Amino acid sequence: MNFKKLRSLLGVHGFPWDEQKGPRRILGVHPTRVNVTHDSKPSSGAKSATNSHVFGCDSREPATGHGFLVSDRPVYFGISGQVCGRSLVEIIRYPHPTLRHVSKPLKRVDTELRKMVDEMFELMYAARGIGLAANQVDLPYRLFVLNLQSDPELKEEERVFINPVITHRKGTAQREEGCLSLPELYAEVTRPEKIKVNAFDLSGNELSLELDGLFARAVQHEVDHLEGVLFIDRLSETSVADIKEPLEEFELDFKSRRDLGEIADDEAIAARLVDLERMRT
**Residue 207 near residue 201, CB atoms below 8 Å:** yes
Q: List 104's β-bridge partners, or say none.
A: 141
> How many residues interact with Co ion (rule CB under 5 A)?
2
Q: Which range, of 14-22, 49-57, 171-179, 207-215, touches Co ion by CB under 5 A? A: 171-179
Closest by CA to 185, choosing from 66, 81, 72, is: 66
For Co ion, which is the closer residue by CB, 77 or 200? 77
CA distance 250 to 76: 19
CA distance 152 to 112: 21
CB of 263 to Co ion, least distance (A): 19
For Co ion, which is the closer residue by CB, 36 or 92? 92
Q: Which residue's C-beta sits nearest to Co ion?
A: 179
**Residue 266 near residue 129, CB atoms below 8 Å:** no
CB of 219 to Co ion, least distance (A): 12
Per the residue annotation, which of 222, 227, 251, 262 is the catalytic one?
222
Residues near 252 by beta carbon (within 8 Å), at least 6 away in sequence: none
CB of 221 to Co ion, least distance (A): 6
- Catalytic annotation on 119? no
For Co ion, which is the closer residue by CB, 57 or 229? 229
Q: How far is CA 24 from CA 21, 31, 32, 33, 142, in A?
A: 7, 9, 10, 10, 19
The answer to whether residue 77 forms part of the interface with Co ion (CB under 5 A) is yes
For Co ion, which is the closer residue by CB, 49 or 230? 230
The answer to whether residue 179 forms part of the interface with Co ion (CB under 5 A) is yes
Q: Which range, of 34-42, 73-81, 240-248, 256-264, touches Co ion by CB under 5 A? A: 73-81
For Co ion, which is the closer residue by CB, 77 or 161? 77
Determine how many CB atoms are found less than 10 A away from the CB of residue 255: 12
CA atoms within 13 A on the CB side of 44: 13
CB of 21 to Co ion, least distance (A): 33
* Residues forming the active site: 222
Residues that bind Co ion (CB under 5 A): 77, 179
